[in-house]
Structure 1
């Protein structure tokens, strides 16, 4: 059995690649999907598809519509969502994707440092599992196949 895992979270550092490599080393039967990881392409996809927009607000609106289309389709196709809340970046997209996963009834593993416990308490309550690091998240995934 192979499961599809949506990796929700910021796209500014290589945390997804770390999870992919660790999962491969553990020989987990999983595939990963997620948002566009090329930040410039994500920001510019609206103009890439729809053409030059008249101002930055409309540029953002066009890009977010297309990025939301991608997210909606890939979240629906996933079996599990891992949402990563790190310490370095604002986490709006992570919160939106994790909330959507919970609304869809998708199993959710939340990775967040302990210092974000209070800020994420309601979302944590919606998750099936809350951990503090990638290794713990992958051990939870590994247990699915035990």
Structure 2
């Protein structure tokens, strides 16, 4: 059996690499996908769509265009995955991760949330719809191992 796992959420740490490396070390049959994790690249994803001779600047419309371009990738990958791992970090509020969790729930796509205990309360609805909650990468890898063995 092979799993297609989408890694969503926080981009300021190496949690994705940790999961991928641990799964490779265990020789798990998993194909990983992810949103763009380079913040500047993600923020500028829609720059090529800016209309000539407009005064759109770097504000709302730039973010709006980039969000739409990024959504093409996110939507496609979530729909194609077997399971999503959705990471909420401690430093920033990942509204995009919450949106991804909601999209998974709407599609009846299983997902695991990954976050520390100190943000249980603000994520209670997200966690309630999740199929599992992990506080560390090892728990995620153990769960993926169980699913494939």
Give TM-score scaled by structure 2 length: 0.91
Q: Match for residue 6 of structure 2?
A: 6
1:85 to 61, 85, 88: 88
Cα shift readout 1:69-105 (whole Å, capped 9, x = no counterpart) = 1100010000000011121221211111111111111
**CA distance in structure 2 between the aligned counterparts of 1:121 and 1:65, rounded to whole angstroms:** 27
Deviations 1:25-63 (A, max 9, x none): 12111011111112111111101x314662221111110
| Partner residue, 1:95 | 98
Query: How many aligned positions are there?
Result: 145
Following superposition, which runs of at least 4 residues in structure 1 exceed 4 angstroms of deviation?
none
CA distance in structure 2 between the partners assigned to 1:5 and 1:132 by the alignment = 18
- Mapped to 2, the partners of 1:61 and 1:43 lie a distance apart of 10
Residue 112 of structure 2 is aligned to residue 112 of structure 1? no
If the length of structure 1 is used for normalisation, what is the TM-score? 0.93
RMSD: 1.3
Which SS does the other structure have where 2:45 is aligned? helix
